[in-house]
Structure 1
Amino acid sequence: MSSPSPQRARTVAIAGLIGTTIEWYDFFIYGTAAALVFAPQFFPGASPVAGSLAALSTFAIGFVARPVGGALMGHFGDRVGRRRMLVASLLVMGIGTLLIGLLPTYAAIGVAAPVLLVVLRFAQGVGVGGEWGGATLLALEHAPPGRRTLYSAFPQMGLPLGIVLASLVFLVVRLSVDDAAFAAWGWRIPFLLSALLVAFGLVLRLRLDESPQFVRVRREDRVRRSPLTDVLRGPRTLLPAAGINIAASGLANVLLVFTLTYVAARGLADPSTMLAVTVVTALVWAGVIPLAAVWAERRGRRPVILTGVALLTAWAFPYFWLIDTGGLAAIVVACVVTGIGVAIASGPYGAHVAEAFPTAVRYSGSSIAYAIGGVLGGALAPLVATALFATTGNGTAISAYVVALGLVSLAATLALRSPHPATAAEQQEEVSGDVLSAP
């Protein structure tokens, strides 16, 4: 089978970027709403701290569901194809998001409201759990030799661009209506707009070709009966692959979710200002990702990831020192440097982790690794940060927690062996029966 043309490879990468942007928009509008309005709407009567913890816990459920989505869609992605699972993930995410926008509050239907909110948030997590691996692999496996890191970085850009889109929509809605109207119905608008974005994303994805490497695996009858089982038999690859993402995911969600609550509780900045800062940060983040990928193509993926994780670890204390000043310029610097660190760590991450797994189990392996890192980092970070802030009243303990996450990711990055195979070498490895090579 001939390799895809450069034009086709670029089309797949850009389609992956657009699709992941839509999925992360859906995922993060929930996080913004959880920080701003869900506590009184779905958990009334609780203390401010308890209400915030309850709302952020429903945010975390989306991360807990991601391994489920990664395992489910990874299994079928390795058995029936990447493209079909990308369509399925977008449908699951889109329907869940739309239904959240239509969900009655606690005042209307009582305890059923938070229960349904949890169920729908779980569905969002399942959707995004299958999204990242499929989009990354389709771009990676269509990419020309020597450009796999850059092409697989396009879906990584969808995360910050989804944040930009979610923040801008929330910012426009907040500025268009008063506080009472926003709390009553305005927060629903970003969720309902998702239906239009999902329809657009589905049109794009239905036009994509299947991964040529997966087609080859299927043609040569090398499809695994249980790819997830094969992945779990190689913990020396899976565990460090998951650990790399812990620091970037954790600090990114402290930045995107907890900081909104933190600055509001301390009166450091109003929510609209913080949403604007988030937009600026995410734009810088998105812009640095392809630069980090190009850097990794020249210098190696592992050194670049180590640089990003080291920056995040070193920045943990300065981040809150700057936030605590309450000055707009200081807050912008704190957030933008964090975004740069996350971008450097995540630019080469998709290719580095995906190519630690052979093609026949790559969707399962990379999806599960990414999802586990998201749970241990991104899901827990806003909850731990909220609890530490409630106990200490400042950001020092939170910074120490972020440093601990950074040390875990540094160790995982050093431990993971990603072979970065050329196609011919990869085929030979798989034909010989080596499902997972030990690091």
Structure 2
Amino acid sequence: MQTVLGEITDIVTEVDAVWAQLDRLAETEVEITPSRPAPGAVATSTRQRRTVIAACLSGTALEWYDFFLYGTAAALVFGRLFFPAAEPATGTLLAFATYGVGFVARPVGAVVFGHFGDRVGRRNVLAVTLLLIGMGTFLIGLLPSYASIGLLAPALLVLLRFVQGLSLGGEWGGAVPLSMEHSDPARRGLATSCVQVGCRPATCWRPASSGWPTWSCPSRSSSLTGAVAAAGWVFVFFPLLDVGSFPAILLAVGVALLIHAAMYGPQTVFIAELFSTRLRYSGTSLGYQLAGVPGGALAPVLAILLYDQFGSTVAVSLYVLAALGVTVAGVLSAPPVRQRAG
């Protein structure tokens, strides 16, 4: 009970802090309605821009913390709590299947919250998504196990996981255009990449690594460079992990995160600038979240199945290589980005 109360306190504190930051944006935000298209960037002072970026970063960090916390629990405890009748490996696989429900829900959240975000404004919709995922995480912590209520336990787990995905699907797509529209037009890549930092709040060096490729070179070039580097590193990554020493693991993960940053940082501005202001919330949300289903929900399940089938990480590396091929094709086929007013 003490752990649950601590989690509740953390959630309430973080939501209150983000809500206060969002309230400060109310004076500078231009609402977007069908009869009144917004002209573009509206923050004129450095302080206002920093407030917007800080609010978007902290809100995204809170959303992703709750979302990834579920993944950790799925790997460690959900298998035996909600699927005790299954073999340990099968129980873990079933737990990861419920993890994938969040990815399936994200495009739904993108459609729902994107619709309202483009019409009633980013700020209010973002506040709703923060409260929604906080409640979902809190209720998951209160769920009784399979031993207490039987099949209703995993059913409720899936439902609450869907709520988490619904919320995240709406929050990310609102934070990106909000930070972009309130930033210096010459530094949009750096500003929007700060939203991506919220996905990895524990790795404090990520702002520099993800923001620098985005700011210093075109987003298309940075994404292609990262994809090519990842295609080579994926065949080094798993052998380094197999060494089993801390320095080898640190090298494998550190280089992988740097390569990932070259693609992940530019992703925000690359997607957002493809859409006009009136459709940016919906377009950015849906484009990103649809890709999250095959790229995120299926990835751990396929990796486990491939390793189990072939007994080697080479099969997993080839799967990653195929996914990177899709990335390269998508970047090369995307239309040239035109600088729009907003």
Q: Is the TM value for this pair above 0.5?
A: yes
Q: Does the Cα contact within 8 Å between 2:193 and 2:207 map onto a contact in 1?
A: no
1:156 and 2:196 correspond:
yes
Give the whole-Å Cα distance in 1 for the aligned partners of 2:206 and 2:295.
18
Q: Which amino acid in the other structure matches residue 288 of structure 1?
A: S
Look up the match of 2:133.
93
Runs of 4+, deviation exceeding 6 Å: none
- Following TM superposition, by how much is the alpha carbon of 1:3 offset from its aligned partner in structure 2, in angstroms? 4.6
d(CA) in 1 for partners of 2:336, 2:265: 15
| SS, match of residue 356 in structure 1 | coil
Please, which of 331, 335, 338 is the counterpart of residue 413 of structure 1?
331
Instruction: Give aligned-pair identity as a percent.
Output: 46
Q: Which residue of 2 is the match for residue 109 of structure 1?
A: 149
Q: Counterpart in 2 of 1:253?
A: none
CA contact (8 A) 2:276 2:340 kept: no
Aligned counterparts of 1:121 and 1:417: Cα–Cα separation in 2: 35
Amino acid at match of 1:321: P
Q: Distance in 2 between matches of 1:355 and 1:287?
A: 22
Report the CA distance between 1:390 and its aligned residue.
1.7
Return the offset for 1:421. 1.2
For structure 1, the 5+ residue unaligned runs are 165-281, 427-439
Alignment of 1:28-47 (within 5 A): 28-47=68-87
Instruction: Give how far 1:345 is off.
Output: 0.5
1:4 aligns with 2:44: yes
Tell me which residue corresponds to 1:294.
Answer: 215
Q: Find the counterpart in structure 1 of residue 124 from structure 2.
A: 84
Where 2:312 maps in the other structure, the secondary structure is coil
Equivalents in 2 of 1:134, 1:340: separation in Å? 26
Alpha-carbon distance in structure 2 between the residues aligned to 1:24 and 1:95: 14
Query: What is the alpha-carbon distance in structure 1 between the residues aligned to residue 43 and residue 131 of structure 2?
Result: 30
Q: How many residues align?
A: 302
- Which of residues 294, 297, 300 in structure 2 aligns to 1:376? 294
In 2, Cα distance between equivalents of 1:30 and 1:355: 32
Distance across 2 between alignment mates of 1:392 and 1:133:
38
Q: What amino acid does structure 1 have at the position aligned with 2:213?
A: A
1:104-253 maps to which residues of 2 (within 5 A)? 104-161=144-201, 164=202
Query: What code does the residue aligned with 2:215 have?
Result: V
Q: Tell me the TM-score normalised to structure 2 length.
A: 0.85
SS at match of 1:147: helix
Q: Distance in 2 between matches of 1:112 and 1:40?
A: 15
- AA of the residue aligned to 1:363: Y
Residues 1:337 and 2:292 are matched in the alignment: no
Superposed CA RMSD: 1.4
Equivalents in 1 of 2:153, 2:206: separation in Å? 35
Taking the aligned partners of 1:408 and 1:51, their CA distance within structure 2 comes to 31
Name stretches of at least 5 consecutive residues in structure 2 with no aligned partner: 1-38
Q: Deviations over 1:58-78 (max 9, x none)?
A: 111111110000010011111
Q: Secondary structure at the match of 1:146?
A: helix
Q: 1:325 Cα deviation (Å)?
A: 1.6
Residue 318 of structure 1: aligned partner: 236
